[in-house]
Structure 1
Amino acid sequence: MKTLNEPISMIVWENKYRYQCGGKIVDQSVEDTWRRVARAMAGVERKPERREWQRQFYRILENFHFLPGGRILAGAGTRHKVTLFNCFVMNIASDSLTGIFDALEEGALTLQQGGGVGYDFSVLRPFGDTVKKTGIQASGPVSFMRIWDAMCGVLLSTGTRRGAMMGVLRCDHPDIEAFITAKEDPRELRHFNVSVMVSDDFMAAVKNDAEWQLVFPVETEGEAGRVVFRQWGSAPGPVPCRIYRTLRARDLWEKIIRSAYEYAEPGVLFSDTINRMNNLWYCERIAATNPCGEIPLPPYGACDLGAVNLTQFVTAPFSAGAAINWNALEETVRVATRFLDNVIEVSRYPLRAQRQQAFATRRIGLGVTGLADMLIMMGIRYGSPESLAFARDVMKRVADATWQTSIELAHEKGVFPAYARSYLQGRFVQSLDASLRAGLDKFGVRNSHHNTIAPTGTISLLANNVSNGIEPVFRAEYIRHMRMRKGDAVSFRVQDYAYYLWRSNHPETDSLPPGWMDTDTLPPAAHLQVQAAVQPHIDNAISKTINIPRHFPFEQLIDVYSQAYALGLKGCTVFRPNPVTGSVIEVPEEHCCQYDGENALQK
């Protein structure tokens, strides 16, 4: 897999990751890109060991065994003043013009250096509320999101990397209904993903068909109106909140799902699950995520991402003797863990607060990509009981190797500064094997968080179009739209990697591989089951989209988010093709077909 087989792979490298400086092409080949990145990451090691670690880092890069996040590939070892972190969660310090526009400036500086941004807009008072100091009525969170959206559009027009932003609003904020429907207008918030932060109490109200109160913090408990106490933002405990109005929880829930069905947004984040399972439960409260949802983060927290390409560890693919080279996989994970830990030292940071947060916690997000292609190469159908057991085993082995390496790094280089003995009592940490917990007890750990599942869209394209993250294969062949360096959009007809490999080895047949499964025949429940199979081994979160055909019935979707919550997932997103959102990938007209859920897994 050393070569870039697909034309789009070469285009991705040239437009996204090939180093050019002052009009001069520095990376003459993709091997030069790997050398540049490996050299930069090895530069923080002790001098006598740098050459060996450069060799090790290059080794896992050269065959696409390990795919670092796009910002790392594009920026490491260059003279560009960019961050190597894909995304950050930012902070709106106060519900005031000063707090809002300070946050806007920080977001602009971060986007300018290549980092996406996520915000909890729940701190902003609802539309129509009176601002006491001025007597002016507040315009609400959605109105201020438009300012962020315009800022992002301006930066994009100046040639900055396409900005990604996440806007989050609590399910009990008085403007939640306006937030849910904001992107129905094709002109609104085009640079934002949006998600509703849902609580355990809300899910209980949905289950019990109860009323739901929309509230907002009051400045003093003596303010007029009924008051309840709710945890809000980063506050350490419940704060007094005024009740603005009450509605039926199921009506609000259905509005969220209807909007997701029609417009692919909002997604849903389960706040209590996120905070309950947070390794740093003892020192932080999380209210937002990065733009794709795979890393829940505190204010100024950052995503340090990379993925192990599972397709490169299958031996004798498509045969009865197909197997996984577990030793090679686990060794790649160990080297990749050290690589990502080094990114924290190598990276630039747009803001001092981001640097302080990254060094205090040393979060990393090592994930996998190519799971669906791996299953196909093994002759296992995605979504089948066998695939769930296999995915669970793969993720556990990756996670265990990551944690073990982080423990060894703590012994070698020291624990992350925010580490405390309370860390050992975290729910996720308590779920680890006894041998890992013994190592934690003795040496501590280098990184507060370790594993995630990121979208890996562009880096998977670079690796000859392997399936993204833990997503199923979209189609054997499809149309992919991509934005070029100068901003123009180009469309490619591409082949899935496993399909390409199958056809290369079986040129005499037009059939699909025996283990083939794609999104056209996969019911939503199978998406959720795969996500649920790997979640227990992931201490960050999972970016996973349930792709459904245009003709999929709404009635079959209505319980999907509730099932996601019941399965202990941290979030859920659905995408159905629609004229407002458009699509990055499309089926050629001759391959369009109807959804048949009844016999999906048997096809």
Structure 2
Amino acid sequence: MAKPYISYHQQRADIQGLKKLLSDKSDLNLSANAAEVLKRRYLLKDELERVIETPSQMFARVAKAIARAEQNYGKSKAEVKKIEQRFYLLMHSLEFLPNSPTLMNAGTDLGQLAACFVIPVEDSIEGIFGAVKDMARIHQSGGGTGFSFSRLRPKGDVVKSTGGVASGPVSFMRVFDVATDVIKQGGKRRGANMGIICADHPDILEFIRAKERGEFANFNTSVAVTDEFMHAVDRNEEYELINPRTKEEVRKIKAGEVFNEIVTYAWKIGDPGIIFLDEINRHNPVSAVGRIEATNPCVTADSWVMTAEGPRQVEELIGKKFVAIINGEEGESSEEGFFETGVKQVYRLKTAEGFELRLTADHPIMRLERMTRYKVEAQWSNARDLKLGDKIIINNHRDFGNWGVKSKYTGGEGYLIGLLLGDGTIKKLNPGKKEITEKIEKSSSDFCRCLLRGLFDADGSVQGNQSKGVSVRLAQSDVEILKAVQRMLLRFGIFSGIYMNRRGERKVKMPDGKGGVKEYITKPQHELVISKENILYFAERVGFSDIEKMEKLENAIRNYKRKMNRERFVASVEEVVPDGVEKVYDVQIPGINAFDANGFIVHNCGEQPLLPYDSCNLGSINVSKFVENGEIDWERLKEAVWSSVRFLDDVIDENRYPLSKIEKMTKANRKIGLGIMGLAELLIKLKIAYDSKDAVLMAEKLMQFITNEARQCSTELGLEKGSFPNFELSVWSTYDAMRNATVTTIAPTGTIGIIGNCSSGIEPLFAVAFVRNVMGGMLEINKLFEEIAKEKGFYSKELIAEIAKRGSIQDIAGIPEDIKRVFVTALDISPEWHVRMQAAFQRYTDNAVSKTVNLPSDATRGDVKRVFLLAYKLKCKGVTVYRYGCKEGILSLEVPKLMLEEYVCADSEYTGECRICSV
């Protein structure tokens, strides 16, 4: 008989002893490895390292600590106790488990409950070593850290303070790596870091090759690439490497050369992975959260920006700090205000309603994703990706007050100018040169209001009735005046549309001023139309001084028998067309990370660090627990989702944060990441092969259900406890409420998957049977396979030993084909199906989906390249590949020293997922 199997039986007494030690006579059914992991990492110990709690007591400790948050929201002791019991049963049943720090630290003096944090790295000695200090404190508390090194000046660049030259980001990464070595996370977790750099950094090639010589063992690395970079790869073009300090081009390089280097080193050593920046930012639902590092999206100098001092053009805000106004809310820019980012190709974005903006192709615009009667969902889309008919979100400034109170121009002067812009003239001026100048448009709110009133007195009208719709209209032959009026009205919260050529050019007989009549050619007439509930705001905030017109408007409003249609502040894309090459500018507005440009909501500079001081608050539902009689119990799953969302939201309140800056950011957005584990077992129970269309469809259905239910729960929690502080700045602002900016993430579940006795995250089975490097080498058999094999009569000890040599059952005789089809392992599955499964979950997940594309040891560089390209095509947010055998310590097919035969072996805590993120 195979030695591992003999060894397994020899260890049963030890295993049962361990499980007895951890047992409290509850019905908690743990695997031997789960019991070992709990003992080693999770259960509380005394000063002599003796275990002093059982797993059930651990769950009770966690449930009590997390439910305590409910006291902050007026819950009675009885209500809190009921929620505590719900949390306990959720974990005790192994239907849901929070991330490791919550299990380890909840209810203890440490109290740090989040898994990982993002720390910005600034381009200065103070900034770099400040980040090292922050990392140390986070690792000490049990968390992991992620960094973007894209802002550090490249190797060889000047350092003015010392007169020397910079050593570059890779050199400074060594400081972080060494510091991680000497800090053991909370005494229970080893240090883990994610390092990211943008593809346009001058040191990109050095970064890609950084781990070749075995350095940076505490780092996982990824290269952040943009759509522009991927397009350059496809077209075999060069792209610019930009010095982040000067924002200037250092040199150009073939995108394909850099991409092939990423492929080569991912194939050789498993690093780096790729992060698709634009795909991440397109689906960022909260402008207040920010963008991760990217190339600078830009607008032109003539763009109008709404500020607390009133409307200003970009050219006036260059080098000047200002307060931006977005949807009536304030956001302070950085000290430098707008800054030049170079000379670039510019595009003109036009909407059917007449709104226009000139910007670069990569500038993100807030685009409508879905709209119902009560809700508006939006996401960021680059200008180049907008199509005819796409809906764009327009700023709503109805909640913003007056501006420019100390203006030297009076309201009376504004009214006079409005009349003159209409049908009046000043004899000394050329009557054909009327325009709303920059000086006029940036005047005070009182001046602008009176100007509009004078103009509408001169050329405006009230038309229609309830059946046809009441509207206020302004006719003009000069469309530029109408565009300026449209922008001015919007700043008062009045949405309008411009309709071109309402009346074409024609010949008309009119008085010649000399007592006779003469035929004149009249210019085409265009019309600005205010309708729906906007006429109420027009009457209140602008109105007519012309008594007859004002009475007509008031009567029309008074006689309206039903509620007027609500304005949704949405415009339709008409075209995005090239519009020349010129200097362009951008700005940083921390917090809001957006600004009003000609009425559009646009994203600010991509150089804001990746969600600075944000944290990951994660938990996973074991979906395999919800299959009964070959079907998913959707109602029971819904209950688990709602309880899990409440649990994770409470974690935010009960967490003891390692840094005050992290606490502030986390509580401002209250992001949670509810994910899943046990997908492989769920598919097996449903008799669906992982590498099949049916599996992909099931993945989409499952995650869509979980995300929808999580959002509904978050809405209810928002009504109960209040929405997250940045709610009004987010795409959820049109909802009744939303407690959490994001609700779902697919994280690698690592050791909590072992506790739950299920596969990690959305990974396929690692192996059907293998030797776990724990307790001297223990054979681990997939429980479902063992049950089915015994039920169908093909189980034997020899069969299990044979499977343990291979991991896979595909080439083993005596196993029915239908069983082989559903019990596929990571290496049985082609890379394409790994990517397609990741993409299926990504479609319905708020945040990123963690998934490793496993490749056999004989996979080629071409295989890796195809994985990266398919992941980009299918709109994944990132991708990581792992070719078996390219790294030590994860999976071994070599002969262990104490065994005479060759078996598939795995580390005691390996479950088949991303090798760093699962820590």
The TM-score normalised by the length of structure 2 is 0.56
Q: C-alpha distance in 2, partners of 1:517/1:121?
A: 39
Shift of 1:160: 5.6
Residues 113-164 of structure 1, C-alpha deviations (whole Å, 9 max, x = no match): 0010000011111111111221111111111111111001011399462011
What is the 5 A alignment of 1:62-77?
62-77=92-107
Shift of 1:41: 1.2
| 8 Å CA contact retained: 1:479, 1:585 | no
The corresponding residue for 1:447 is 740
Shift of 1:503: 4.3
Q: C-alpha distance in 2, partners of 1:18/1:160?
A: 11
Q: C-alpha distance in 1, partners of 2:89/2:186?
A: 37
Shift of 1:545: 0.3
| 8 Å CA contact retained: 2:62, 2:107 | yes
Q: 1:587 to 1:500 in 2, by over 3 A?
A: farther
The corresponding residue for 1:372 is 680
* Among candidates 389, 396, 399, match of residue 707 of structure 2: 399
| 8 Å CA contact retained: 2:45, 2:53 | no
Shift of 1:203: 0.5
The corresponding residue for 2:257 is 251
Count of matched residue pairs: 534
Q: 1:218 to 1:74 in 2, by over 3 A?
A: closer
Q: C-alpha distance in 1, partners of 2:885/2:893?
A: 13
* Matched position secondary structure for 1:416: coil
Shift of 1:373: 1.4
Shift of 1:332: 0.5
User: Does residue 1:53 correspond to 2:339, yes or no?
Assistant: no
Shift of 1:6: 2.6
Structure 1: runs of 5 or more not aligned: 220-240, 289-295, 317-321, 425-439, 483-488, 593-603
The corresponding residue for 1:14 is 39
Matching residue's letter, 1:301: D
Which has the larger displacement, 152-161 or 346-355?
A: 152-161
What is the 5 A alignment of 1:39-118?
39-45=64-70, 46=75, 47-79=77-109, 81-92=110-121, 94-118=122-146
Residues 55-111 of structure 1, C-alpha deviations (whole Å, 9 max, x = no match): 1111111111001111111111122x241000000012x311111111110110111
Q: C-alpha distance in 2, partners of 1:585/1:501?
A: 26
Matching residue's letter, 1:310: V
> How much is the aligned-residue C-alpha RMSD, in angstroms?
2.3
The corresponding residue for 1:340 is 648
The corresponding residue for 1:354 is 662
Q: C-alpha distance in 2, partners of 1:192/1:343?
A: 27
| 8 Å CA contact retained: 1:27, 1:33 | no
The corresponding residue for 1:461 is 754
Q: C-alpha distance in 2, partners of 1:523/1:370?
A: 20
* Among candidates 279, 282, 298, match of residue 276 of structure 1: 282
Q: C-alpha distance in 2, partners of 1:497/1:588?
A: 25
| 8 Å CA contact retained: 2:771, 2:903 | no
Q: C-alpha distance in 1, partners of 2:152/2:729?
A: 36
Shift of 1:421: 5.5
* Matched position secondary structure for 1:393: helix
The TM-score normalised by the length of structure 1 is 0.84
* Matched position secondary structure for 2:69: coil
Matching residue's letter, 1:189: F
Q: C-alpha distance in 2, partners of 1:398/1:48?
A: 29
Shift of 1:336: 0.5
Q: C-alpha distance in 2, partners of 1:158/1:49?
A: 33
* Among candidates 305, 309, 314, match of residue 618 of structure 2: 305
Matching residue's letter, 2:227: D
Q: C-alpha distance in 2, partners of 1:90/1:283?
A: 14
- The structure whose Rg is larger is 2
* Among candidates 608, 612, 628, match of residue 315 of structure 1: 628
Q: C-alpha distance in 1, partners of 2:51/2:771?
A: 31
| 8 Å CA contact retained: 1:528, 1:564 | yes
User: Does residue 1:529 correspond to 2:836, yes or no?
Assistant: yes
User: Does residue 1:32 correspond to 2:57, yes or no?
Assistant: yes
Q: 1:34 to 1:555 in 2, by over 3 A?
A: same
The corresponding residue for 1:494 is 780
Greater strand share, structure number: 2
Residues 173-228 of structure 1, C-alpha deviations (whole Å, 9 max, x = no match): 01110110111112x00000000011111001001110122111344xxxxxxxxx
Shift of 1:42: 1.1
Shift of 1:585: 3.4
Q: 1:181 to 1:421 in 2, by over 3 A?
A: closer
Structure 2: runs of 5 or more not aligned: 1-25, 295-608, 800-814, 896-901, 905-919
Q: 1:24 to 1:504 in 2, by over 3 A?
A: farther
Q: C-alpha distance in 2, partners of 1:357/1:456?
A: 25
Q: 1:500 to 1:337 in 2, by over 3 A?
A: farther
* Matched position secondary structure for 1:133: coil
| 8 Å CA contact retained: 1:119, 1:167 | yes
Matching residue's letter, 1:247: I
Matching residue's letter, 1:468: S
Q: C-alpha distance in 2, partners of 1:392/1:39?
A: 34
The corresponding residue for 1:223 is none
Matching residue's letter, 1:84: L
User: Does residue 1:477 correspond to 2:769, yes or no?
Assistant: yes
Matching residue's letter, 1:446: R
The corresponding residue for 1:168 is 196
| 8 Å CA contact retained: 1:82, 1:114 | no
* Among candidates 572, 582, 600, match of residue 888 of structure 2: 582
